Amino acid sequence: MKIKLYLGAMVMRNVYGLLALLAGVGGIYLIIHDYDAVGLLLLAVMGICIYRGQLPQAEVRKLDIGQLAAEQADKALADWEKARADYERVEAARHKIRDSQMSQQLGLMQQEAARLLDYVEKHPERIASAGRFIHYYQDRAASLSEQYSELEETKLETDQVRQVKARLKETLFSFDEAYGAEFTKIINNQLLDMDAELTVMQQSFEAEGISNGQANGNGAPAEINAAQTPASTGIGRKKRPRVSAVSRVNGQEKKRRKEKIHTPDNLRSAVLVQKAIMSGLAICLGTFGAHKFYQGKSKWGIAYIVLCWTMIPTLISIVEGIRYFFMPVDDFYEQYYR
């Protein structure tokens, strides 16, 4: 999800968005200059591009299992497909959940999950080490996220429903750290393998009378101790500001951290492009709700079209376009990335 789980789909969506922007601006320009037929055709192309951009984009990702034994390959492939399916389940639940705090927490979980999945995609021989993450943590996270979303959809506000929702939230607020801990264990296993290989090589050098010139204070080669690696750090995880928040569960107040979601490095350019496209659609074509349709908010888009004659959508969309343009990329990623 760094993170390549949606990179291909996001690029295609940006391509359709850019085409929609160019076609829309060109269509309006031609209509103003009395080329109505061509202008309307370009506006139709704009609508098609926006529609295509909202469709799920097929993403081809295959685990390279060529170097694994047949039995290991089948197991690795099955685990990989389950991990991806559960990732998609959490992502779908995240977009449905209306609780902004819960949605943000699921976003943090997805960042950790995507880092781990990208790692095992590059090292399929280590996917077996991620068994606890795949078959327990991520599976449970997907189920709990869906249950929370279903409870929200009931719109019931009984004491029992509120209590269960609060417990679900408290449980899910620890999952990103659990993901990070599992990732650390997998990396530790790799460090131990590397340490063993380096030890064998050093022994071979010593047998040949070769010295690498690097030793500790006692004259012995420095050792790698993977067991000393800090637990639950989350490999590659950026430091994030922590702000105390208070929640009430079973009548007791508990402090909960609130962390900001950061844009993954390899998605930053795609997010910036999407931000520019949405800003352009809002400023140039916002009167007809083009930016709302692009976001998948069809009802709002229709409302803009219905009220376009009042000029209210025009003024609002210009403000929205300016807001998109100057919005910090991390905030845009958290609020509008799809």
List pLDDT tens digits, range 144-164. Answer: 999 999 999 988 889 999 899
Q: Which DSSP helix (H) or strand (E) runs through 146?
A: helix 138-154
Pair 134, 242 in one domain? yes
CB distance 333 to 267 below 8 Å? yes
Q: Is residue 202 part of a domain?
A: no
Tokens representing residue 184 in the block:
């650390």
Query: For residue 115, what pLDDT is reported?
Result: 84
Pair 148, 250 in one domain? yes
Pair 142, 234 in one domain? yes
**CA dihedral of residues 300, 302, 303, 306 (deg, nearest 10):** 160
* Least reliable range by pLDDT among 198-212, 283-297, 319-333: 198-212
Last residue of a domain, one of 241, 260, 279: 260
Best mean pLDDT range from 12-21, 76-85, 133-142: 133-142
pLDDT at 241 over 90: no
* Least reliable range by pLDDT among 2-6, 8-12, 15-19: 2-6
Pair 92, 180 in one domain? yes
Domain around 174? 70-196+228-260
Pair 91, 51 in one domain? no
Q: Is residue 210 part of a domain?
A: no
Which positions ≥6 away from 307 have C-beta within 8 Å?
313
Pair 45, 81 in one domain? no
Last residue of a domain, one of 219, 239, 260: 260
pTM equals: 0.57
Domains in the chain: how many in total? Answer: 2
Q: Tell me the CA distances in angstroms from 210 to 56, 162, 213, 217, one per residue in order.
A: 58, 68, 9, 19
Q: Is residue 80 part of a domain?
A: yes
Pair 21, 167 in one domain? no
Pair 180, 122 in one domain? yes
Pair 53, 106 in one domain? no
pLDDT tens per residue, range 71-125: 778 888 888 889 888 988 998 888 888 888 888 888 888 888 888 888 888 888 8
Q: Is residue 65 part of a domain?
A: no
Q: Is residue 208 part of a domain?
A: no
Q: Is residue 75 part of a domain?
A: yes
Last residue of a domain, one of 211, 236, 260: 260
Which positions ≥6 away from 249 have C-beta within 8 Å?
163, 166, 167, 170
Q: Is residue 207 part of a domain?
A: no
Q: In the beta sheet, which residues pair with residue 256?
A: 245
Pair 271, 304 in one domain? yes
Q: Is residue 171 part of a domain?
A: yes
Pair 256, 275 in one domain? no
Pair 138, 254 in one domain? yes
